[in-house]
Every structure is written in structure tokens, then in C-alpha cells.
Amino acid sequence: MAKIHILGAGALGSLFAVSLFRADINPCLIARDAERAMTLRQTGIRCGGASYPVDIAAPNALANKDIECLLLCTKAYDSLPALAAIAHALRPDAAIICLQNGIGQHAAIAEQHPAASVFAALCTEGVTRTGTGEIVHAGVGHTDIGQLFGPSKKLPDELSKQSLKVNFSTDILPTLWRKLAINGAMNGLTVIHDCRNGELLQRLDVYKELCALVEEIANVLNASGHVDASLDLFEQVRNVCQATAMNTSSMLQDFRAQRPSEREYVYGSLLRQAELAGLEAPMLKQLNQQLIRRETV
């Protein structure tokens, strides 16, 4: 079996590295540069009180054309620069599996890597980086992976033989749009109202806004042909708000920490669909503008 490489030694990349390592699959985790790779080799990847001596490499230490199967675990906006940094090591026909939220990066990757097989994933694990090489896996979820672009390719079975639950899907797009719709309904509002997920249901003014936004997003999905993703959308959003009531959305965490957010890969993608379908989407536009203003403060 070809070695599985993981690009992005953050929360999710480290979680997959540990899980594969524990299943004797020995992946290679690619850090941003030689200095970070050396630090991570010294600390190991720590999770749940144990330290795992995962194989860690810097981009410049990778052999030419060595990577056949890559789990891409950077934030969506870092995808292209991160792939460019390992371009020498990536086989043109590699499988690139984007374990990222958002939509838009897959097409951009496929355009730059036309012979590659590009996969998208819906991942519901909850993991946080708490220190250098240290992660906390607080929410056990699952990952669905399906191909979106490039020559059809079978992924290594080993990916589904680890403690994390991984399923292969033949039709990932509706799942992706549904997740995007739920994120679009919740994440921006949690930033604007600076609140936890559960408060979207509890505060009357915010709840009314949430209802109207869900309706607008469902209309956009319907008009742009993603009908499955729009079905029962409000119920889905309410379930996620309830199940994650005490959580702070990843977008709010990014805004609070003044880090870049994945806004463009959520709201940019929804607005592009609205435009293609000839819809106005005034709430989405306004929310996106409010978020952009906050990014630049």
C-alpha cells in the first residue's frame, strides 16, 4: 500500500495522523517547514494523555513524486499555497482528499492539478489544538469521503480501517451542500451576535433572523439545483444548534482570535450559487458584508 500523507499538522491533520498510526498504518504528517517538523518530532503528537511518534516531514524533505494519497488538512484558504509547497513530491495522478469545510477549494485544486483525483469530505469530528503537537478530541463524529473531480480513483481501504469512522460515498455533493447550508445559517450569525450555537434558538431577535436566513438559503439551494440539500433545512439547523448548544462555532473562534476565517468558502460559495440562479439573496449579502467589515477592523 502507498503511504498516506497528511498535509497540515493542525487539529484535524494530527487527529487523523494519530488514528492511522494507532491502526499501524504509519502515515507521514507534513508540517509547514523544517523548524516546525523538528519541534513536532521532539514533542510527538499528543492526544488523550499519550504521545505518538508519528513520522513527520517538512516539504523540502519529501522525495520527488512520492505522494500518491494525500489528506489535505489545512484551512480551505491555505489549500493552494500548501499544495504548491509540496508540488515536487505530489504525483500528478495523486488522490487529494480535502478534509476541509466549505466549497470552492476543490474546483480550484482540480484546475491547478488536472490529472489528480480530487475528493471532498464531510467531517463531523470535533478536535482542538491545545498546544504544540497537542490535541483534544472532544467530539467523536464521522467522515464521509467522495470524489468530485479528476479521473475516477479507488481510495486505499486502510482509510476506513482506523478508529475514526470513515465511509466512502458515491454521491458526496448533496451532503457537502447540506453541511454548507447549515454552516451558512449558523456561523455568520454567531459572529455577528457574538454568541454560542444554542443562543441562536434562545434569543428571540436572533431566532427570527435565523428563520429568515434559513429560508433564503433553502431558496438558493432549490433554485441552483441542490434540492436534496434544502429539504428540512430548518429542522437540521435546529438539531445542530441544540446538539452543539454550548459550542462556539469555528468561525466565531477565528474572529475572536483575529485569524482569517473560512467565510469565503461558505458565504462566497452560497452567493455565487444565488447569482448563477438569478436570485437576490439580500440577507446572505448583508451578512457577508458585515463579516468582511469585521475582518478588516
What is the CB-side half-sphere exposure of residue 145 using CA atoms within 13 A? 24
Catalytic residue IDs = 179
Give the cell for residue 256: 475572536
CA distance 257 to 106: 26
When asked if residue 57 is in the footprint of ligand NAP (CB under 6 A), the reply is no
Q: Report the distance separating Cα 213 and Cα 133, nearest Å.
A: 38
Residues in the chain: 297
In the complex, least distance from residue 230 CB atom to ligand NAP, rounded to whole angstroms: 22
117-123 β-sheet, strand order: 55-57, 28-30, 4-7, 67-72, 90-98, 117-123, 142-149, 165-168
**Euclidean distance between CA atoms 265 and 283, whole angstroms:** 17
- The nearer residue to ligand NAP, 209 or 237, going by C-beta atoms, is 237
Residue 269 in contact with ligand NAP, rule: CB under 6 A = no
Q: Does 54 bind ligand NAP (CB under 6 A)?
A: no
Out of 19, 74, 162, 190, the only residue in the binding site for ligand NAP (CB under 6 A) is 74
The binder of ligand NAP chosen from 73, 89, 116, 210 (CB under 6 A): 73
100 binds ligand NAP (CB under 6 A): yes
Per-residue contact string for residues 114-153; x = within reach of ligand NAP by CB under 6 A: ---------x-xxx-x------------------------
How many whole angstroms from its chain centre is CA 31? 18
User: Among residues 78, 144, 216, 264, which is the contact residue for ligand NAP, using CB under 6 A?
Assistant: 78
For ligand NAP, which residue of 36, 196, 203, 294 counts as binding (CB under 6 A)? 36
| Closer residue to ligand NAP (CB): 123 or 209 | 123
String of contacts with ligand NAP for each residue 190-209, x by CB under 6 A: --------------------
* C-alpha atoms less than 13 angstroms from C-alpha of 259 in its C-beta half-sphere: 11
Q: What is the distance between the alpha carbons of residues 281 and 160, in angstroms, rounded to a whole number? A: 39
Contacts to ligand NAP by CB under 6 A: 7-13, 32, 36, 73-76, 78, 81-82, 85, 99-101, 123, 125-127, 129, 250, 262
